[in-house]
Structure 1
Amino acid sequence: MRLLVLGGTQFLSRAVAAEAARRGHDVVCANRGRSGTVPPGVTTVRWDREQEAPDRLIDGDPYDAVVDVSRTPSHVRRALAAVPGAHWVFVSTISVYADDADPAGPGAGRLKEAIGEDLDPMASVENYGGMKLACERLVLDAVPGAAVVRPGLIVGPGDPSGRFAYWARRSAATGEVLAPGDPADLGQMIDVRDLAAWIVTLAEEGIGGTYDAVGSARPLGDLLAACLPDADLVWVDHDFLAGEGVEPWSGPDSIPLWLPRPAYDGMLAHDAAPALAAGLEPRAADATTRDTRAWLDADPAARITGITTEREADLLTRWRAR
């Protein structure tokens, strides 16, 4: 298979390129060359998608498949015009859904308003989700039988968000560790390597359809117990954490993976069954945790977000004294 990966230098798109090259495919990565390096064994073509496709990209043998992770509608339009006839796998997001309390997926979940113009995707979740939805529709309209995957929380080695790295850092902890919310709250994640492997399979086999690209939802108590097997998890309720100014999800004063409930009951509880039936094979959480910790130990520049251990200890003291 001759595969075009639009990107290939960061996290998921880089993992896709690496997996496709490992399987022996002819992989071309098109990118600006500003945000990292491509994996060994792939070809790089420089392309700033604010411009038309360079001749080098479209000369030569046709591409069998394209993988795109863009969030910018004009970039997707240019790529579709430049590479007609290939099977497409477009990586979207569960942020296209309008109701974070509802876990309903493709064909059932209410969607945000599509935004077909190029706005700042990081200005708001409405921009990000709306632009991704517009990109989905561009691909599906232009490529009959295209695949659209909507990941939730992508984790694993190389994660630039630092969210799951927070828990991987604590994974060897003994003694008390603050656990946020209720252990019955559902959570889910997908290892970047498993998602990349599945995306390559979708490209190889020409599989189409729209899927929530998630691992199976499980109680957060079970998930954190698998990630921190030797810790004594101390569950601290939502209202207390919010009252203490702790932020959810990500950031310097956050506890990652924690989301306000019930407003976000559905965000980490989507149905994984359709993706599993289409070939997604998630690994166990403890394996992802172990490998992410090894990456953190090996890379001093790896990002970790979330509260400090000192802040955690203070919160636990306040929780007991409430």
Structure 2
Amino acid sequence: MRILVLGGTAWLGGAIATEAVERGHDVACLARGESGGVPAGARLMRADRDRPDACAEARGRWDAVFDVARQPGHVRGAVAALDAGRYLFVSTGNVYAETRTPHGDESLPLLPPLEGDRMASMGDYGPAKVACEAAVLGAFGDRALIARAGLIGGPGDASGRSGYWPWRFAHPTGDAVLVPDAPQRSTELIDVRDLAAWLVRCAEDGTAGVFDAVGLEVPLAEHLAAAGRAADSSAAVVAAPEGWLAAQGVVEWAGPRSLPLWLADPDWLGFTSRSGERARAAGLAHRPLDATLRDVLAWEETRPEHPHGAGLADEEERELRRLLAGA
């Protein structure tokens, strides 16, 4: 197949291009080339998607186009300019207007689409992706695949969300690791390599439609146990009440001074417990969580700074454990 990856020099796009090359396809990546090189075996077409002629170099017929964009203008320009048999667009679970319902599926209502071509801030992320989806479906109809990804993790995860816990168990500040006392909170982590492999197979098979491409639902306690195994750690856990953590300014989910993957906000409980049944029926397969966490830990050990993107710094964790012990 002739495959065009819009991007291909960053994380997910690079994983898609790598998978496509490994499966014997003729792969080109259309990108500015500022995030790095393209995978070995692919070729780079330099272009800036902010320009109206961004797709000029990508002339000719493509069997499949992969797009991970978040700016509606970029997607509208691509679907209008490219001659493609199939268009596979990576969207997000943030498109849903209702994120409280556990085990929700693709039938839940969406947010209103963003008006205009560009996001003003990350607050526009969900509506922008809704607008991107609409552009793809409007142009390609039953030749389009929309993959509403959940939390993506694995080697290369610069957000720190999938890497913090195995790294923390590998580098505890004492004989224990501070965790939320929320063992049954859900996590759903999809390995970037599993998502990429599924997307390429869908292009090969002509799979179309809208899918929640999410990981398997795993309780937080089990996820933390897997992180400990990945780190071959003997550290125990010190569980802090959720309300106490919030009072100490510890952030849910991601970002500085956070405990990643922990989501206590009732408005978001469905976000980490999507059904995902339709994608699995279409062939989405998952490697064991332990394997993903072992591999992301190996990548984390190459990083110069910790935590990066998400988690508690050593001094923050020490102070919180001291305060908890005296509570």
Scaled to the shorter chain, the TM-score interval is over 0.9
C-alpha contact (below 8 Å) 1:252/1:306 kept by paired residues: yes
Higher share in strand? 2
Q: Deviations over 1:72-105 (max 9, x none)?
A: 1111111111213420110000000122322422
1:171–1:275 distance in 2 versus 1, CA, 3 Å = farther
Give the % identical residues. Answer: 44
1:268 and 2:269 are equivalent in the alignment? no
- Alignment partner, residue 208 of structure 2: 208
- Alignment partner, residue 141 of structure 1: 138
1:34-73 alignment, distance < 5 Å: 34-51=34-51, 52-59=53-60, 62-73=61-72
Give me the whole-angstrom Cα distance separating, in 1, the residues matched to 2:55 and 2:176.
56
Following superposition, the deviation at residue 173 of structure 1 comes to 5.2
Following superposition, the deviation at residue 221 of structure 1 comes to 0.6
C-alpha contact (below 8 Å) 1:173/1:228 kept by paired residues: no
1:132 and 2:129 are equivalent in the alignment? yes
1:294–1:41 distance in 2 versus 1, CA, 3 Å = same
Give me the whole-angstrom Cα distance separating, in 2, the residues matched to 1:281 and 1:188.
14
1:180–1:13 distance in 2 versus 1, CA, 3 Å = same
Following superposition, the deviation at residue 301 of structure 1 comes to 6.6
Aligned to 2:97, the other structure's residue is in SS state: coil
Give me the whole-angstrom Cα distance separating, in 2, the residues matched to 1:192 and 1:180.
26
Amino acid at match of 1:29: C
- Please, what TM-score do these two structures have when normalized by structure 1? 0.93
Aligned to 1:163, the other structure's residue is in SS state: coil
Q: Deviations over 1:187-221 (max 9, x none)?
A: 11101111111111111111011111111112111
Give me the whole-angstrom Cα distance separating, in 2, the residues matched to 1:176 and 1:122.
38
- Alignment partner, residue 257 of structure 2: 253
Structure 2 stretches lacking a partner, 5+ long: none
C-alpha contact (below 8 Å) 2:119/2:128 kept by paired residues: no
Amino acid at match of 2:72: P
2:237 aligns with one of 233, 239, 259: 233
Aligned to 2:62, the other structure's residue is in SS state: coil
Following superposition, the deviation at residue 300 of structure 1 comes to 3.1
Runs (4+) off by over 6 Å? none
C-alpha contact (below 8 Å) 2:185/2:262 kept by paired residues: no
Give me the whole-angstrom Cα distance separating, in 2, the residues matched to 1:305 and 1:42.
32
Give me the whole-angstrom Cα distance separating, in 2, the residues matched to 1:42 and 1:213.
25
Structure 1 stretches lacking a partner, 5+ long: none
1:54–1:129 distance in 2 versus 1, CA, 3 Å = closer
Amino acid at match of 1:40: A
Amino acid at match of 2:311: G
C-alpha contact (below 8 Å) 1:64/1:87 kept by paired residues: yes
C-alpha contact (below 8 Å) 2:76/2:135 kept by paired residues: yes
C-alpha contact (below 8 Å) 1:28/1:45 kept by paired residues: yes
1:306 and 2:311 are equivalent in the alignment? yes
C-alpha contact (below 8 Å) 1:171/1:289 kept by paired residues: no
- Alignment partner, residue 163 of structure 2: 165
C-alpha contact (below 8 Å) 2:185/2:264 kept by paired residues: no
2:323 aligns with one of 312, 318, 321: 318
